[in-house]
Amino acid sequence: MFLGVSTLTEQGRSYPPMDDRIEVRFLHHALQAVQTLDPGLRVVVFTDPDTHDSFSEFERICIDSTRSSLLGGRGAAVAQAAQRCGVDTVLAPLSCPLPPHASFLQVLFLTDLLFLGTASNGRQAATPDRLSRPARKALLASGGLLCTSHALQRLCTARLGLGMERIFVAPPGVSDVFQQDLAPVAQAPYAVLPVNRYTLPCLPNLREALRKRPELFPPLVALVGPPLTDEPDDWGCGIVRIERCPDAILASLLRHADLLLYPAVDDGCGMAVVEAMRAGTPVLTARAGAPAEWGGTVPAYCDPENTTSIIQALRRFQDETPSERHDRLAMGRGAAGEATWERCAWKMLAALKRS
């Protein structure tokens, strides 16, 4: 098989517009594991200038965004490049599908439905009629849809009207570095707060909880993710800002953190939660989507859009005994031990070959 992988999303269609690189990070680890399992598989990655360096160990073709608009969009530009390469199969985001083409089979990929809108915060729910015309055509002609959790699979079935048999699940893995003993990169005590499209809507509620009950939080919070356009000057506690965080740095942060703050909505991937569990970090997150699928009974759960619920969940950490904390974190490490990139790669290869 000659596999093409597109990392491009259609410009202007993401919600919210953030360079949080969730899909890029997932695909990078998954493709590394796929090539380890199947060294004979040839892979070419279609990138843009922002993602080009992330796939340096693969054959790459950079798509010129300025020219792609003249060629019928970014998906059309990738399709032309795929045809020239002679790929058999293309894995492409549903947010930027390739036009159906006779020379290759397309399998679509997603980590959430936010590019269509969502039911959270009063926004319109994702439905089939909210798909763009190119996306609808591509989905009908595709070999199926690859998603990153069973929660997202169920959501796609309910909101896009797809049968389960056409939706394949390849859950994310966790790199071994997250269970290693690493030197600290920040001075404890502190919490880690990933800033991405899933936590962004909940940050005002989290800041309000911090204002009302500061004693429930560590005195320092490490914000991991791209800068916000309207980032507040005062979070109510000390802040360490880390915009780009390689796995080794993130693993060190989590290994020495008192808490992962992950009040997320519409997360269909859950990488942040499973990485924290493997590192042995207490987790506060939402009881919905992929975080709950991975977390089981390990995290403290909250309604991330409700300040009172966040405060009540934080109290759980203060109320538990050292023995209870030890047992819960050990349970989390055990559950997260099942999340390997090799397992993800097997699922991905099976989906591509079944298509």
Residues above pLDDT 90, as percent of the chain: 70
| CA 307 to chain CA centroid, nearest Å | 24
Provide the pLDDT for residue 102.
Answer: 85
**Range scoring the smallest mean pLDDT among 28-32, 36-40, 131-135, 181-185:** 131-135
Provide the pLDDT for residue 126.
Answer: 54
Q: Which of the pair, 18 or 78, is modelled with greater confidence?
A: 78
Mean local confidence (pLDDT), 314-331: 91
- Could you tell me the CATH number of the domain that includes residue 145? 3.40.50.2000
Provide the pLDDT for residue 244.
Answer: 87
Quickly state the pLDDT bin for 120 (edges 50, 70, 90). Answer: very low
Quickly state the pLDDT bin for 308 (edges 50, 70, 90). Answer: very high
Q: Do 212 and 146 fall within a single domain? A: no
Quickly state the pLDDT bin for 159 (edges 50, 70, 90). Answer: confident
Statement: residue 325 has pLDDT above 50: yes
User: What is the tens place of the pLDDT at every residue in 240-268?
Assistant: 999 888 999 999 999 999 999 999 999 99
* CB-neighbour burial class of residue 227 (10 A; exposed 0-12, middle 13-18, buried 19+): exposed
Cβ atoms 313, 295 nearer than 8 A: no
Mean local confidence (pLDDT), 185-213: 93
Q: Do 315 and 185 fall within a single domain? A: yes
Statement: residue 318 has pLDDT above 70: yes
Residues above pLDDT 70, as percent of the chain: 92
Half-sphere exposure in the Cβ direction for 68 (13 Å, CA): 22
Provide the pLDDT for residue 50.
Answer: 86
Quickly state the pLDDT bin for 197 (edges 50, 70, 90). Answer: very high
Q: Which of the pair, 45 or 65, is modelled with greater confidence?
A: 45
Residue with tokens 């950490």: 317
Q: Do 159 and 191 fall within a single domain? A: no
Give the residue from 270, 301, 44, 295 showing the smallest Cα distance to 147: 270
Q: Do 165 and 221 fall within a single domain? A: no
Q: Do 161 and 216 fall within a single domain? A: no
Quickly state the pLDDT bin for 169 (edges 50, 70, 90). Answer: very high
Query: Residue 197 belongs to what domain range?
Result: 176-336
User: What is the tens place of the pLDDT at every residue in 136-145?
Assistant: 899 999 999 9
Q: Do 182 and 310 fall within a single domain? A: yes
User: What is the tens place of the pLDDT at every residue in 88-114?
Assistant: 999 999 989 999 888 999 999 999 998
Mean local confidence (pLDDT), 314-327: 91
Statement: residue 121 has pLDDT above 60: no
Q: Do 135 and 280 fall within a single domain? A: no
Q: Do 187 and 314 fall within a single domain? A: yes
Find the length of the chain. 355
Q: Do 251 and 311 fall within a single domain? A: yes
Query: How many domains would you assign to the chain?
Result: 2
Q: Do 206 and 119 fall within a single domain? A: no
| Sequence-separated contacts (24+) of 165-169 with Cβ below 8 Å | 168/107, 168/144, 168/347, 168/350, 168/351, 168/354, 169/347
Q: Do 54 and 88 fall within a single domain? A: yes
| CA 163 to chain CA centroid, nearest Å | 23
User: What is the tens place of the pLDDT at every residue in 26-54?
Assistant: 999 999 999 999 999 999 999 999 889 99
Give the residue from 137, 261, 139 showing the smallest Cα distance to 199: 261
Q: Do 232 and 304 fall within a single domain? A: yes
